[in-house]
């Protein structure tokens, strides 16, 4: 059993820095105290935006006129698939009631969250796909109020027209021209809309992520997300050019985005590594700089002797995105346990899921796949339980409750069973102590 690192990351994934925590904590405190005016002030100082925070209908209609017809068709293509997948997820969970013993019923009820806050990044890239992933999924879940926010774009003097169009298409009820911590805080505190978000979802930079972390508890969140990750398991049947393109495709997200290759083929590893720098060099400058740093500092290539070793290495990493470019696809798909989203075969690639193929791209990073999946319709629905009982069923349930409660030393609990037994079955004798 041999696992060899042909390329090893020279940096470890960064966790939240103390300075980031301090900045976010101060901003949240100031916005909580100063309300809408303080949120506007941060928008002006950080995004150089002094316009209206609530986006009006006429602005949305004007933005729609700036979006090319082909892009509208593409956005509709993505929206239809994400919405349909979310609908299938919604259908997979049911309300029910079952009789557990004679006269004792227990049930499950599904209650959509009242208000969701959907953060859509609008900084380096115009993340229209993130609007689709969060807003349409919340809509399918039945969320009553959907607030969406995105940072104003300097070129357009407000939210990027394509983001604005997409937010509206997906069903956002309120749209805020506000980004960063101030956008997250506005949704959490109910600023500008009068609706406090019960859950905050959507990707963002480290300040957005930390703001969500600090607000967790006051509100729910989708997950704690870090820089995006890709891991590809490939064998001798894989095309090194395709593998390299897919690694570069995710590395362009940012300078701290890990790209990992796990392979059972020395030749595939060598050929892929030989292609990487050339592909990175052909990228536009912003993407080239990000991919260069990501591959240099966080890229890894792991050579394994067997499929089982490769699968174990992958499970240890618990990657956000996991691609399989191997002959033994079914074996790997059944064997693997820890990942955010799985892409089976060369024909399925991370970018498809990121943009339009239907599954959600808001996914766990930094090994969070050990305990959670990504954003889904389930995140917007509370699964609550119900109980009802006949008087006859109390003969068993109340007596057992009384005995167990007294064993635990909880006399008050025990007496709630006692009173029902004495009321419903006067004259009968019960054993009420363990």
Check 127, 321, 323, 346 and give the catalytic one: 321
Q: Would the pLDDT of 124 be above 70?
A: no
* Interval 350-374: pLDDT, tens: 999 999 999 999 999 999 999 999 9
13 vs 294: which has the higher pLDDT: 294
Read off the pLDDT of each residue in 87-110 and give the average, rounded to a whole number. Answer: 97
Q: Would the pLDDT of 102 be above 80?
A: yes
- Tell me which residue of 119, 144, 319 sits closest to 215, measured CA to CA: 119
In the block, tokens 């004679």 appear at 102
**pTM of the complete model:** 0.92
* Interval 372-406: pLDDT, tens: 999 999 999 999 999 999 999 999 999 999 999 99
Give the pLDDT of residue 15: 64
For residue 247 the two structure tokens come to 């690694």
Give the 3-state secondary structure percentages of the chain, helix then strand then coil, rounded to 5: 50, 20, 35
Check 320, 323, 346, 361 and give the catalytic one: 320
Q: Write phi, then psi, for 385 (nearest 5 degrees).
A: -115, 155
* Interval 309-359: pLDDT, tens: 999 999 999 999 999 999 999 999 999 999 999 999 999 999 999 999 999
Read off the pLDDT of each residue in 239-262 and give the average, rounded to a whole number. Answer: 96
Q: Would the pLDDT of 145 be above 90?
A: yes
Residue 414 near residue 406, CB atoms below 8 Å: yes
For residue 320 the two structure tokens come to 């956000």
Q: Would the pLDDT of 123 be above 80?
A: no
Residue 249 near residue 263, CB atoms below 8 Å: no
**Collapsing DSSP states into helix, strand and coil, what is residue 401?**
helix
Confidence of residue 16 (pLDDT cuts 50, 70, 90): low
Query: Percent of the chain having pLDDT more than 70?
Result: 98
Q: Using CA of residue 20, residue 26, residue 31, residue 37, what is the dihedral sign?
A: negative
C-alpha distances in Å from residue 44, one per residue of 152, 177, 353: 10, 11, 35
Phi-psi category of residue 129: left, alpha or beta, with phi > 0 → left and psi -120 to 50 → alpha: alpha
* 8-state DSSP, 93: S
Residues 6+ apart with CB under 8 A from 159: 55, 63, 122, 150, 151, 152, 153, 167, 175, 177
- Tell me which residue of 251, 244, 216, 227 sits closest to 363, measured CA to CA: 227
Domain 18-222+378-382 has CATH 3.40.50.1980: yes
Catalytic, 413? Answer: no
Catalytic, 321? Answer: yes
* 8-state DSSP, 230: E
Give the pLDDT of residue 226: 84
Q: Would the pLDDT of 133 be above 90?
A: yes
**Collapsing DSSP states into helix, strand and coil, what is residue 75?**
helix
Beta strands in 258-414 (DSSP E): 259-263, 300-304, 321-325, 341-344, 381-389
Confidence of residue 126 (pLDDT cuts 50, 70, 90): confident
Give the pLDDT of residue 277: 97
CATH number of this structure's domain 227-373: 3.40.50.1980
Confidence of residue 261 (pLDDT cuts 50, 70, 90): very high
Average pLDDT of the chain to the nearest whole number: 95
Give strand pairing partners of 97: 107
């Amino acid at each position: 059993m041999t696992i060899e690192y042909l390329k090893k990351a020279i940096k470890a994934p960064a966790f939240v820095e103390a300075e980031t925590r301090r900045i976010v904590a101060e901003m949240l405190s100031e916005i909580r105290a100063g309300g809408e005016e303080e949120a506007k002030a941060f928008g002006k100082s950080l995004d150089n935006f002094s316009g209206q925070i609530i986006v009006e209908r006429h602005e949305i209609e004007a933005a729609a006129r700036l979006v090319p017809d082909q892009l509208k068709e593409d956005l509709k293509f993505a929206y239809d698939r994400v919405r349909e997948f979310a609908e299938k997820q919604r259908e997979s969970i049911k309300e029910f009631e079952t009789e557990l013993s004679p006269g004792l019923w227990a049930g499950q009820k599904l209650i959509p969250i009242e208000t969701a806050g959907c953060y859509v990044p609008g900084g380096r890239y115009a993340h229209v796909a993130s609007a689709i992933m969060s807003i349409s999924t919340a809509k399918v879940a039945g969320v009553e109020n959907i607030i969406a926010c995105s940072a104003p774009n300097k070129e357009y003097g407000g939210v990027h027209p394509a983001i604005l169009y997409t937010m509206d298409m997906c069903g956002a009820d309120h749209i805020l021209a506000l980004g960063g911590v101030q956008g997250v805080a506005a949704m959490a505190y109910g600023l500008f809309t009068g609706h406090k978000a019960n859950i905050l979802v959507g990707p963002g930079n480290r300040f957005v992520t930390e703001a969500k972390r600090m607000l967790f508890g006051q509100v729910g969140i989708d997950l704690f997300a870090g820089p995006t990750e890709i891991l590809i398991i490939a064998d001798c049947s894989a095309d090194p050019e395709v593998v390299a393109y897919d690694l570069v495709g995710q590395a362009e997200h940012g300078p701290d985005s890990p790209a990992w290759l796990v392979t059972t083929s020395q030749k595939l590893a060598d050929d892929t590594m030989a292609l990487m720098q050339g592909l990175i060099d052909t990228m536009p400058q912003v993407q080239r700089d990000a991919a260069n740093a990501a591959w240099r500092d966080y890229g890894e290539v792991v050579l394994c002797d067997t499929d089982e070793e490769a699968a174990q290495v992958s499970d240890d990493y618990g990657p956000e995105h996991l691609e399989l470019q191997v002959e033994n696809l079914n074996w790997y798909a059944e064997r693997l346990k820890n990942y955010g989203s799985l892409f089976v075969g060369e024909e399925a690639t991370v970018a498809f899921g990121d943009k339009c193929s239907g599954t959600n791209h808001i996914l766990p990073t930094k090994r969070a796949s050990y305990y959670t999946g990504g954003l889904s319709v389930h995140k917007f629905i509370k699964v609550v339980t119900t109980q009802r009982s006949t008087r006859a069923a109390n003969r068993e349930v109340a007596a057992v409750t009384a005995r167990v409660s007294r064993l635990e030393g909880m006399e008050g609990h025990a007496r709630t069973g006692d009173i029902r037994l004495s009321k419903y079955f006067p004259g009968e004798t019960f054993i009420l102590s363990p």
